[in-house]
Amino acid sequence: MKVLVTGARGMLAHALVPVLEGAGHEVVGLGRGDADVSVPGALLHPVRTFKPEWIFHLAAWTKVDDCEADPDRAHAVNALGSRNTALVAAECGAALLTVSSDYVFDGQASQPYREYDATAPLSVYAASKWAGEQAVRELLTRHIVARTSWLFGSGGHNFVDTVVRRARAGEGLRVVDDQRGSPTWTRDLAVMLVRLAEASQFGTYHVSNSGDCTWWELAEYAVRRAGLAVPVEKTTTEALGRPAPRPAYSVLSNLMVERVTGQRMPHWREAVDRYLESRDHTS
């Protein structure tokens, strides 16, 4: 199939494009310089020229604290950008896959969130992603909304790389231990997204690596697996004092996506192991 990818310079696209191409699909990737999705009509020419069967909409502003300081930009990119992409997909007859976030939930749950659980965004970033989801649902029948969480991977800044780099430099590490979620390797996510699209399994899905942990537990595991002995100190969200609120619990249930595709998402520890090994081979 022919697939157009927005946000093609980002970390998820860095994993997704090779997976698509490896599966035999024809891919065109667009970065912000090629087409700014926040501008209505910016995608029309490339979509009309390429005539994709699918648009994978990855373009987003994901700096949560920066979004809190600039809500207009956050909604222009994450909400209006998704709406503009859905309008173009509808006009050109393409199906649309858009990526959303675990942060659309308020973190008050005590068991993994299902797709039909009530959302309650706490931050500007979360609200803008929720608005983007809604725009896609309203404008396009043939869509997939894929919520994911705590991404790490090559091709962009991510938490795993940051803590390992700082540990190797001998820097002290203080990491929050009161936010719980599911770390997700972009490679594993990309593989599942392609399976969903190939099967034309439309709807809303939660797609993350299985298992859950706190940010401190993730940092501790990554540092140890990298062969480093630097201590990782626990702290709290309140002590860290970040501008944007985060959900204390945002673990996602993969039950629906695994039932639909017949494939299980690997555990986050296994994903971290494979990611660190891949980084060692390419560094």
Rounded-to-integer distance, Cα 121 and Cα 74, Å: 14
- The dihedral built from the CA positions of residue 229, 210, 248 and 57, taken in this order, carries a sign that is positive
Residue 155 has pLDDT above 80, yes or no: yes
pLDDT of 281: 43
pLDDT of 241: 87
Residue 195 has pLDDT above 80, yes or no: yes
Residue 279 has pLDDT above 90, yes or no: no
Banded pLDDT at 282 (limits 50, 70, 90): very low
What would the two tokens of residue 198 be? 């190939």
**DSSP code of residue 107:** S
Q: Looking at the domain 2-158+183-210+249-267, which fold is it?
A: Rossmann fold (3.40.50)
Residue 283 has pLDDT above 50, yes or no: no
Other beta carbons less than 10 A from residue 36's beta carbon:
17
* DSSP alpha helix (H) spans, the chain: 11-22, 44-50, 64-69, 71-74, 81-92, 124-139, 159-168, 186-198, 215-225, 237-240, 255-261, 268-282
Between 241 and 151, the more confident residue is 151
pLDDT of 280: 63
Q: Is 185 left (phi over 0), alpha (psi -120 to 50) or beta?
A: beta
Section 20-47 average pLDDT: 93
* Identified catalytic residue from 125, 205, 221, 275: 125
Banded pLDDT at 171 (limits 50, 70, 90): confident
Section 4-10 average pLDDT: 95
Rounded-to-integer distance, Cα 191 and Cα 169, Å: 33
pLDDT in tens, 91-122: 999 999 999 999 999 999 999 999 999 999 99
Give the bridge partners for 214, in sequence order.
180
Does the annotation count 125 as an active-site position? yes
Rounded-to-integer distance, Cα 166 and Cα 257, Å: 35
Other beta carbons less than 10 A from residue 171's beta carbon:
10
Residue 140 has pLDDT above 70, yes or no: yes
pLDDT in tens, 233-277: 999 999 988 999 999 999 999 999 999 999 999 999 999 999 999
Residue 67 has pLDDT above 80, yes or no: yes
Banded pLDDT at 90 (limits 50, 70, 90): very high
Residue 15 makes CB contacts below 8 A (sequence gap 6+) with 153, 154, 155, 185, 186, 187, 189, 190
